[in-house]
Homo-oligomer: A and B are copies of this chain.
Amino acid sequence: MPAQPSDDYPTTNGSLNRKLRMALVGGGSGSFIGRVHATGALLDNRAELVAGALSSNPERAKKSAPSYAIPEDRAYTSIHELVEKELARPEDDRIDFVSIATPNHTHFEIAKTAAEAGFNVVCDKPMTFDLPQAEELVKVVENTPGVFALMHNYTGYPLIRQAREMCLNGDLGEINAIRSNYIQGWLREPLEETGQKQASWRADPGKSGAAGAFGDIATHAYNIGRFMTGCLPEELSCNLKSFVEGRKLDDYGHAVVRYQNGALGTVTASQISHGHENNLYVEIDGTKASLVWRQENPNEMWVRQNGQPAKLYTRDPNAAYLSDLARNSCRLPSGHPEGFFEAFGNVYRAAYDAMIARSEGTSFQGRSETTRDTLYPNVYDGAEGMLFVTKSVESSEQNGAWVSLKTDYARR
């Protein structure tokens, strides 16, 4: 059945010589993203899930534990209990990192608590409920010893990484335009009024933050454009809409982004486009070449140059035309589809490498100005994401006025 052989991808933790121990916060029954974190984190057999605070409801926390194979005595009900009891365990039987898969409004406290207890943290996005929390979290992370990775999972796709390398290497020339779109349809009806769990917290300003679609998905679209091109932002103009009657947050929105190098960007996000599933796509125009990538078929990317046939790059661990990074981000031969879990797994893998570096005393993100450029999205990316959301709302409230996006958080 197999086709081409794949390279051996990293499947051990090197000098650590054991699996990393994971605790999951969030992920109780009805959760979607908790399960994805668990699956992605364990994909390479480099980590084991040993503890959790799956729900703040004690009964549900216990009840959910078996489905993650978490032993009963490590099924906690809060980050505080988790931190206290894990710290009480001998060091060689203690968790290494906490994964946060809860609604947005709880991220900050959980992340801060875990980081200050010395644990490494992998946090879902958006990083915090609002910008002040994000700014404070940057300081927390800068002053604690752990790794902090933000789950912008799409950066884990091998071809997104390929795109980044092509842009940074100059293969596309100067970047002129970035068109990012994230089109979904699942909130076309007011699902939040039916008690559907995913919809309810996302449509609740008290849990989701100041933005709906823009916080949930436009952040991804913006982040992917930034990750791929490294273009630094200057200012934006935004229009948010709430098309479903009674909805409190935007379910559709559009931002124009001006970049410092003169490039013009657009970010469109929709949750009300009938039948669109998870249609994230990005188009980049450079002076030397253009790119198009679509998340729903992530194993392909179009590369075009005038005068030549369009080229379809594929995820391929053996392709000499791909970068080392892109090739090493593959687990399977080309033509054997990888997907969403593998992208999560790749972000985890990058975070694990940093955790091991930490255990070895090597520097990594968070420790200094010069190590900001991590492969995994980090706390600065998270703060920039919150800035993007905050400024988008601010611009929209001012009828689309230009607002500055300049920030020290932004990194190539």
Binding site for B on A (CB under 8 A): 1-6, 8, 11-12, 17, 19, 29-30, 32-33, 35-36, 38-39, 42-45, 49, 66-69, 124-125, 151, 153, 176-177, 179, 183-186, 188-189, 196-198, 216-217, 220, 237, 239, 241, 243, 252, 254, 256, 258, 262, 264, 266, 268, 270, 272-279, 283, 285-290, 295-299, 303-314, 316, 319-321, 331-342, 399-400, 402
Contacts and interface: CB of A to CB of B under 8 A. Distances in A.
A312 B314 contact: no
Contacts of A66: 12, 17
A113 B189 CA distance: 55
A334 to B, nearest CB: 4
So how many copies of this chain end up in the complex? 4
Contact of A177 (B39, B273, B296): B273
9 contacts: A1-B33, A3-B277, A19-B69, A176-B241, A237-B400, A252-B264, A252-B285, A276-B290, A277-B333
A49 B306 CA distance: 36
Name, among A29, A35, A241, A341, the residue most crowded by chain B CB atoms within 10 Å (CB to CB). Answer: A341
B216 A1 contact: yes
A176 B45 contact: no
A69 B18 CA distance: 8
Contacts of A30: 5, 8
Contacts of A12: 66-67, 69
A151 B266 contact: no
B402 A402 contact: no
Given A297-B297, A399-B402, 12 more contacts: A36-B332, A177-B252, A273-B283, A274-B285, A275-B290, A277-B316, A277-B335, A278-B336, A297-B337, A332-B340, A337-B339, A341-B341
Name, among A1, A67, A341, A399, the residue most crowded by chain B CB atoms within 10 Å (CB to CB). Answer: A1
Contact of A311 (B286, B288, B299, B311): B311
A188 to B, nearest CB: 5
Contact of A310 (B8, B32, B125, B314): B314
Contact of A307 (B278, B320, B339): B320
Nearest to A179: B268
Nearest to A126: B1
A336 B182 CA distance: 13
Closest 10 CB pairs of A and B: A275-B304, A277-B335, A278-B335, A337-B339, A309-B311, A274-B290, A11-B67, A339-B339, A336-B340, A5-B198
Contact of A32 (B124, B276, B333): B333
Contact of A176 (B183, B184, B272, B276): B272
A220 B336 CA distance: 14
